[in-house]
Structure 1
Amino acid sequence: MTAVSRRSVRIGVIASILTGVLLLLCCTGGTAAFFLSGLGGDGEDGDSLAGFGCGPIRPVDIVGELPRFTEYGDAQVRNAAIIIKVGQDLGVPSRGWVIALATAMQESALRNLANSDVPESLALPHEGVGADHDSLGLFQQRPGWGSVAERMTPSYTAGKFYEKLVKVRSWQRRPLTVVAQQVQISAYPDAYAKHEELASKIVDALAGGAARTVEINGKAVCDAAERGEIAASGWTAPIPGDVGSGFRTASRPSHNGVDIGAAKGTEIRAAAAGRVLVARCDPDNRGRRDCDVDGYPDKGGCGWYVDLLHAGGYITRYCHMVVQPRVRLHQIVPAGEVIGQVGSSGNSSGPHLHFEVHLRNDRSSRGAVDPVPFMRARGAPLRAAE
């Protein structure tokens, strides 16, 4: 039995015992959270988390004062804290906390929901009545997940979610909505993605920057997502290398991205899971499509390039590839997937990756933002040249 499984079983047993206590208390929020705090792991978890940096990352406190979010009330944020705390106690990498949180945000809006189809659930502490048949709790789990009392216990339901999550193949790299769907089997599988950004922010706020960490050799390291390593936010640097020409500088005001120097043939990776919008040769200034020849000064445009659409309406662009991209139109690619190689096609004076980030599904210059602070906020910083 794995460490995750052993701890999950321990959580389930303790949660069942506590259910009777919660029934007697008939409360939500502070007092219930006090008893649930006993589900936390041993002190070793807290000690190891404190050394990861980023804030530093800390064990989540589910009983004290919590940060405020305009989207959610105190009880909902406290449920979010319970979900993260269970993930910490089970030793699940912090990417799992973001996925679990986004899933609960979609399923219940972070409210512990009872259901009128299951009358006994109304006798348990709850924060609203759902309408989805016999589904209950934060994750709207059905009877196969446990008893009514168990599914109405936030710590138990979070533990069961993580137990299934870690069995999903390549779950840390695949799109959040795909992974969540494999755990939940929802009728609306595409809905989870819209919560990823806010889920990352809540994890950062409650656990001291945890969404910016990446698992390297079994340890969480802050702001180091590159070479295919994925931060808990779901992002990674497209290539390792130093930023040369920056975003919309005085000398290049129409430069809508940054140039990252690298040797020809260096592998370029998808900065996050997404769908391919474009994978083609960009016409030069004369309308020719000849991207297999280094461009400068005779060529214009991006040369061989790829545009990816990510959750939240973000678009990333990768220009000047040496040969045709390795991906095709409409393909779904996981974070860190190799999509091409560094080259000098198009308007390029030497091998490098021209990298852009766009907001609001806008591929034009109007949607472009500086990739440096954007990627830094997601734990996948682009290195500045010395």
Structure 2
Amino acid sequence: MTTTQTGPPRPPRRLAGLAMALTGAFLLLCCTGGSGAFLLSELQEELDNPVASTFGCGEDGPVEFRDELPRIGPYGDAQMRNAATIIRVGAEMKIPPRGWVIAIATAMQESSLSNLPHLGARNDHDSVGLFQQRPSQGWGTPAQLQDPAYSSRKFYEKLKTIPGWQTSTVTRAAQRVQISAYPDAYAKHERLATEIVNALTNGAARAVGGGGEELRCARAGEIAASGWTAPIPGGVGSGFRTAQRPSHNGVDIAAPKGTLIRAAATGRVLVSTCDEDRRGRHSCNVDGFPGKGGCGWFVDIKHAGNVITRYCHLVRKPRVNVDDMVQAGEVIGEVGSSGNSSGPHLHFEVHLNGDRSSRGAIDPAPFMRDRGAPLRGVG
């Protein structure tokens, strides 16, 4: 199996060497499961966290103000400077990085990260500043609310009063602070807000901790500040659209039958069903075999930003139903070998733009790594 290096630098030589030593095991995992999976599981604790070795997880703290800040998406120097202020105030108040993501996503929706004055007839009531807070609602004077540090502090003070905000969706947390007429509008900014936090903090949106606790990279089963977590522990065996399997639209993570599968992020269940095999027979309650066709028992979940994750080959009917709202880390089923499979494993896919077809599929490995929820292995 060959892999193409993309994105960040390669991990340290020791980690790379250990990965090469496991190549024989990886070759056994290509939609087959099998004993090779367990070799990787046994050695997993010896692997360095690949996020720490390539990105960092905020250990260096928020960025210091520089002459030029990176441009991300449509946001230039002035807006990124405001984002840096939001992060700096959050760090001073010992708000964990999840709060920074929520605050920046909120300011992206309210003002496009611009410190807006009163806009006269175009104004939403008397709203001003980064968060469009209203003097008439007790947030402060107009002059105070046009101070990015002051308005950020007021946002965080209200956020801290919301029970469970750290495990909340951006939509729920932001709406509880802002009481917006468009409560669902915040979610679409979460992906770019996460990218901004990572760019300005050496990867703090990939971290857990904060609030007085030292930041560190999320471990298996923990939810990073980005709101994402790996669906199961274990390493990637068969990768995304490899030369051997160009139509493989996800990655395979081998694990013992019955291993709990968790939602990778908060979202709504789109599909929870048995995928028919190519002969039209429902046979998901028995183990599959290569060439049988189908995902077996599987689940699709839609997340913020029109991201969809797919979980295939479950051992039995999923624990969730269509239209259920699930939280990041919530158990949705167990690893099995239903459908096109010859051994227990999770086939995991990520799709963008709400497109459940192969056209929307992207490589889950770098996507999850960027969110501090790496799928360990060579995927």
1:230 equivalent in structure 2? 223
Q: Distance in 2 between matches of 1:243 and 1:70?
A: 30
Going from structure 1 to structure 2, the CA distance change for 1:207 and 1:325 (only over 3 Å counts) comes to same
Q: Distance in 2 between matches of 1:64 and 1:130?
A: 33
1:133 equivalent in structure 2? 125
1:73 equivalent in structure 2? 76
1:38 equivalent in structure 2? none
Determine which structure has more spread, i.e. the larger CA radius of gyration. 1
For 1:65, the aligned partner's letter is E
Going from structure 1 to structure 2, the CA distance change for 1:330 and 1:141 (only over 3 Å counts) comes to same
1:90 equivalent in structure 2? 93
- Could you list the per-position Cα deviations for residues 176-230 of structure 1 after superposition, in whole angstroms to 9, with x for gaps in the alignment? 11221111110001111111121112111211221222239943212x3531x21
Going from structure 1 to structure 2, the CA distance change for 1:167 and 1:349 (only over 3 Å counts) comes to farther
Q: Distance in 1 between matches of 2:75 and 2:378?
A: 41
Q: Distance in 2 between matches of 1:297 and 1:258?
A: 16
* Alpha carbons 1:236, 1:272 under 8 Å: kept: yes
RMSD: 2.3
Following superposition, the deviation at residue 161 of structure 1 comes to 1.2
Q: Distance in 2 between matches of 1:116 and 1:378?
A: 37
Question: What secondary structure does 1:355 align onto?
Answer: strand
The share of aligned pairs that are identical, in percent, is 66
1:103 equivalent in structure 2? 106
Following superposition, the deviation at residue 113 of structure 1 comes to 2.0
Q: Distance in 2 between matches of 1:57 and 1:271?
A: 27
* Stretch of structure 1 that moved more, 89-98 or 57-66: 57-66
The yes-or-no answer on 1:246 pairing with 2:249 is no
Task: From 277, 300, 309, give the equivalent of 2:302.
Answer: 309
* Alpha carbons 2:57, 2:205 under 8 Å: kept: no
The yes-or-no answer on 1:287 pairing with 2:280 is yes
Following superposition, the deviation at residue 169 of structure 1 comes to 3.1
Going from structure 1 to structure 2, the CA distance change for 1:249 and 1:69 (only over 3 Å counts) comes to closer
The TM-score normalised by the length of structure 2 is 0.79
* Alpha carbons 1:225, 1:235 under 8 Å: kept: no
For 1:339, the aligned partner's letter is I
Q: Distance in 2 between matches of 1:201 and 1:368?
A: 20
* Alpha carbons 1:321, 1:353 under 8 Å: kept: yes
The yes-or-no answer on 1:176 pairing with 2:185 is no
1:256 equivalent in structure 2? 249
Q: Distance in 1 between matches of 2:75 and 2:227?
A: 23
- Unpaired runs of 5+ in structure 2? 1-54
2:152 equivalent in structure 1? 158
The TM-score normalised by the length of structure 1 is 0.78
Task: From 138, 141, 155, give the equivalent of 1:147.
Answer: 141
Following superposition, the deviation at residue 308 of structure 1 comes to 1.0
1:8 equivalent in structure 2? none
Following superposition, the deviation at residue 324 of structure 1 comes to 1.3
For 2:62, the aligned partner's letter is P
* Alpha carbons 2:228, 2:372 under 8 Å: kept: yes
* Alpha carbons 1:130, 1:136 under 8 Å: kept: no
* Alpha carbons 2:58, 2:207 under 8 Å: kept: no
Going from structure 1 to structure 2, the CA distance change for 1:191 and 1:89 (only over 3 Å counts) comes to same
For 1:139, the aligned partner's letter is F
Question: What secondary structure does 1:100 align onto?
Answer: helix
